[in-house]
């Protein structure tokens, strides 16, 4: 008989250092199979939804957005795909993070891509150079782009129970849905330098007290999860997250940071979600449902791959849209259409020949 989440204990593990270390294998926490034939398909189905939060400062100013999406996918085998991204601005300079993870139903990591960026604004790195002959000054704008690449390899035995940024988000959804977890859950994790040393790099989850938070004008019970990430190069970082009963993320904040990610409005239940939650789920129905979701996700991924290919061929699209959205959020105009017309008008005037050809063809 399979132990429940609250009854499971840590699994002993050693990676070449002295002293007994206790780590919890992810497969003992999630579902017991890597195929669609797992015993509780409804549990993973409940994790397939999107979260969208707003990043706000201590004064209540909106700084950006944070979103997490989970769906069924395929990466040489049926799996779960989690995509999380955040974007905002630091001193009016765009910055953001994007994480795409492919996970088995045991939450083992098949592949994960973690990308962070900070675009330094030219006016922030400008340097004044005086020309004594002309007795004038000019500002030289420098665009700084730093790209580094590191590679680390570890045997699979050392990475047992590995928790990445992507798998941690799905893991916390499962914990929130079950509303219980074993004490002292310790995992292996990676720091930004890709280093891993037993207890030096772990993700520690500790339940916070249940409390109530206001969402969309309603006071709701939430379930708290705290994640502590040890670091070899500095002090540990602590993240606190609160979830609704259905697993939706309400708040996410790094302890010590003045920025908080908040859910402003309650998520509306769609027709499919309402159908799943109101009609009892038999094993055969659940398996058919997951197969349909898998085929839908496969077609959806093909479409996304085609879009990604086009964007790679035209990198100027991302830069153009990113600059427009950044300026739009900074200005916050009342008339968005007028602002967009004024913003994109110079681009049309840069190609008079193309405009004349189009006019002649008409």
In this predicted model, which residue has the larger pLDDT, 295 or 107? 107
Kindly list the distances between the CA atom of residue 206 and the CA atoms of 22, 48, 241, 250, 308, in Å, as whole numbers in the listed order. 16, 24, 11, 17, 38
Does residue 125 have a pLDDT over 50? no
Its sign, for the CA torsion 97, 90, 262, 225, is positive
**56 in Cβ contact with 63 (< 8 Å):** yes
Query: How many angstroms separate the CA atoms of 191 and 164, rounded?
Result: 10
Work out the average pLDDT over 231-235.
76
CB-based contact 203:168 (threshold 8 Å): yes
CB 49 within 8 A of CB 270: no
Mean pLDDT of 99-124: 78
Q: DSSP letter for 279, please.
A: S
In the chain, what are the domain boundaries? Answer: 5-118+158-309, 315-361
Q: Which two tokens stand for residue 302?
A: 């093909």
152-166 pLDDT tens trace: 788 888 787 788 888
Neighbours of 2 (CB within 10 A): 10
Mean pLDDT of the chain: 69
**What pLDDT sits at residue 170?**
92
């Amino acid at each position: 008989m399979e132990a429940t989440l609250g009854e499971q204990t840590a699994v002993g593990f050693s990676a070449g250092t002295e002293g007994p270390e206790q780590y919890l294998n992810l497969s003992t926490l999630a579902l017991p199979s890597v195929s669609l034939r797992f015993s509780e398909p409804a549990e993973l189905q409940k994790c397939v939804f999107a979260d969208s939060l707003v990043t706000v400062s201590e004064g209540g100013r909106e700084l950006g957005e944070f979103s997490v999406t989970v769906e069924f996918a395929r990466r040489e085998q049926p799996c779960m795909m989690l995509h999380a991204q955040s974007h905002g601005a630091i001193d009016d300079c765009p910055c953001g993070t994007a994480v795409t993870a492919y996970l088995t139903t045991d939450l083992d990591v098949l592949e994960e891509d973690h990308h962070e960026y900070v675009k330094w604004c030219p006016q922030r790195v400008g340097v004044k150079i005086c020309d004594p002959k002309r007795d004038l000054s000019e500002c030289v704008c420098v665009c700084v782009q730093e790209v580094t690449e590191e590679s680390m390899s570890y045997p699979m035995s050392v990475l047992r129970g590995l928790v990445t940024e992507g798998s941690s988000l799905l893991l916390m959804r499962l914990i929130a849905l079950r509303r219980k977890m074993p004490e002292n859950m310790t995992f292996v994790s990676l720091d930004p330098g890709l280093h891993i040393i037993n207890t030096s790099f772990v993700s520690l989850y500790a339940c916070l007290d249940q409390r109530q938070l206001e969402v969309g004008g309603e006071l709701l019970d939430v379930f708290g999860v705290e994640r502590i990430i040890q670091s070899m190069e500095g002090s540990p970082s602590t993240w606190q997250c609160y979830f609704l009963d259905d697993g939706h993320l309400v708040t996410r904040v790094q302890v010590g940071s003045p920025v908080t990610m908040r859910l402003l409005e309650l998520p509306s239940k769609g027709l499919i979600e309402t159908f799943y939650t109101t009609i009892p789920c038999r094993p055969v129905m659940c398996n058919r449902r997951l197969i349909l979701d898998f085929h839908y996700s496969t077609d959806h991924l093909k479409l996304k791959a085609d879009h990604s290919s086009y964007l790679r061929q035209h990198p100027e699209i991302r830069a153009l849209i990113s600059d427009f959205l950044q300026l739009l959020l900074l200005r916050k105009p009342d008339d968005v259409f007028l602002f967009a017309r004024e913003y994109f008008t110079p681009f049309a005037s840069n190609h008079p020949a193309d405009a004349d050809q189009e006019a002649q063809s008409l």
